[in-house]
């Protein structure tokens, strides 16, 4: 019995010894690979160090050469011209040699109040770009060199007092005082109120681009909040733009004013491109005739719509009637919204009620399959539109 146990132990010991030798060989192999990798890394480090050192030496040599050339070619600046340079009409613009950009100079200002703001903006932009380091007097002399007519008559007495009488004239010595007096004399103080009245009465009458341009022009100085701008802009849009916004599920109440501007212009561009590719639907009269065709007995009052009703809408992009049936009515944050299954389509689309009309002459092709929807909860036992709770 003891002999058998010894034999078993001897076999197990032999197996363990074999496993140990195998692991020892593997460790030796890994050690050899690691040493080889270290040698390669050391060689690469030496190689790249030599490359960097050579590049640094070359760069230093180039810098020394450029420094030598610049010092040998430099010349002293020319002396300033002798004598006084005071004149009523100085050179047309203060310029700076540090920039190669070309900037447009302001137009002549004749004293018209409607041109005053544009003149101020043009002058200040040019001075900031080309003459920021000039003195106040030089800036004022340059600005007044663009005066003519009534504006020149306004500034001439100040120039005469300064030039011929030698008096101190703050208007011609401090640029801030000059612009303050200029604004008081020429800028329309009722401009904001006029813009406010135009902005309040503004509605889209032509293209979305023109409406957006006028809207932003009048509102830029009024200081309204983004929410107020967004709501007012949306209210002024044409109904066809609003309908497409709603039909595409664009949540304009959750968007910024700029996002509503961009969405309206995107829709307008899409309508324009669609009408160019489909000339038969490019005129408003086509939309009107097609909208009255499915329902010749339309009345001013809106018809109640329920689940299962056949409906149609006028697609603003094609100006053609699109027919289908209401499959369900759901409650959203914007109110009750019907899901419509259009003829020939397999998916429902959420369309706002104002865009839909009851179809009294539904298409005879492929009747709409009944759609299984959750059981609605009626507000009362009386007949009426379905409300979802």
Burial of 172 from C-beta contacts in 10 A (0-12 / 13-18 / 19+) = buried
312-347 confidence digits (pLDDT tens): 887 766 667 888 888 888 876 656 778 888 888 888
* Residue whose C-alpha is closest to residue 219's, from 237, 244, 202: 202
Share of the chain above pLDDT 90, in %: 14
Residue 143: strand, helix, or coil: helix
Question: How much is the mean pLDDT over the chain?
Answer: 76
pTM of the model: 0.42
**What's the pLDDT score for residue 294?**
46
Distance CA 157, CA 162 (A): 9
Q: CA dist 149 to 82, 110, 152, 236, Å?
A: 34, 5, 5, 41
The label of the residue with tokens 């324009």 reads 272
The rounded percent of the chain whose pLDDT value lies above 70 is: 74
Residue 199: both structure tokens together = 């902005």
What pLDDT was estimated at residue 249? 72
- Give the C-alpha distances (Å, rounded to integers) separating 162 from 137, 173, 288: 11, 10, 71
Whether 94 shows a pLDDT value over 60: the answer reads no
User: What is the CB neighbour count within 10 angstroms for residue 233?
Assistant: 22
pLDDT tens-digit map of 214-268 = 898 888 878 889 999 999 999 999 988 888 887 777 888 889 999 999 999 988 8
| 159-175 pLDDT, tens digit each | 888 888 888 888 889 99
Tokens 């503004």 belong to residue: 202
Which pLDDT belongs to residue 219? 86
pLDDT in tens, 124-182: 888 988 888 889 999 999 999 999 999 999 989 998 888 888 888 888 899 999 998 99
């Amino acid at each position: 019995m003891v002999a058998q146990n010894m034999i078993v132990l001897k076999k197990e010991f032999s197996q363990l010894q074999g496993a140990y030798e195998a692991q020892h060989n593997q460790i030796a192999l890994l050690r050899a690979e690691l040493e080889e990798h270290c040698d390669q890394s050391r060689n690469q480090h030496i190689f790249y160090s030599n490359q960097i050192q050579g590049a640094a030496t070359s760069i230093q040599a180039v810098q020394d050469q450029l420094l030598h050339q610049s010092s040998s070619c430099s010349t002293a600046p020319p002396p300033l011209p002798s004598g006084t340079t005071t004149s009523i009409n100085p050179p047309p613009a203060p310029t700076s040699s540090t920039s190669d950009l070309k900037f447009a100079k302001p137009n002549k200002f004749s004293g018209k109040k409607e041109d005053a703001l544009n003149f101020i903006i043009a002058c200040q932009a040019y001075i900031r770009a080309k003459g920021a380091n000039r003195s106040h007097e030089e800036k004022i002399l340059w600005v007044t060199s663009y005066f003519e007519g009534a504006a020149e008559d306004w500034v001439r007495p100040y120039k005469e007092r300064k030039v011929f009488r030698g008096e101190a004239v703050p208007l011609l010595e401090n640029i801030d005082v000059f612009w303050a007096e200029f604004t008081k004399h020429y800028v329309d103080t009722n401009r904001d109120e006029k813009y406010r009245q135009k902005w309040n009465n503004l509605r889209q009458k032509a293209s979305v681009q023109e409406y957006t341009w006028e809207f932003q022009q009048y509102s830029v100085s009024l200081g309204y909040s983004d929410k107020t701008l967004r709501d007012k802009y949306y209210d002024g849009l044409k109904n066809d733009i609003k309908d497409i916004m709603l039909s595409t599920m664009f949540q304009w109440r959750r968007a910024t004013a700029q996002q509503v501007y961009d969405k309206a212009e995107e829709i307008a561009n899409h309508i324009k491109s669609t009408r160019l590719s489909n000339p038969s639907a490019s005129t408003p009269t086509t939309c009107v005739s097609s909208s009255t065709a499915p329902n010749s007995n339309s009345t001013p009052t809106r018809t109640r719509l329920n689940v299962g009703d056949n409906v149609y809408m006028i697609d603003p992009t094609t100006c053609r009637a699109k027919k289908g049936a209401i499959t369900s009515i759901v409650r959203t944050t914007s109110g009750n919204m019907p899901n419509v299954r259009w003829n020939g389509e397999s998916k429902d689309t959420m369309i706002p009620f104002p865009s839909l009309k009851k179809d009294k002459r539904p298409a005879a092709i492929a009747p709409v399959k009944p759609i299984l929807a959750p059981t609605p909860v009626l507000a009362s036992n009386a007949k009426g539109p379905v409300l979802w709770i």
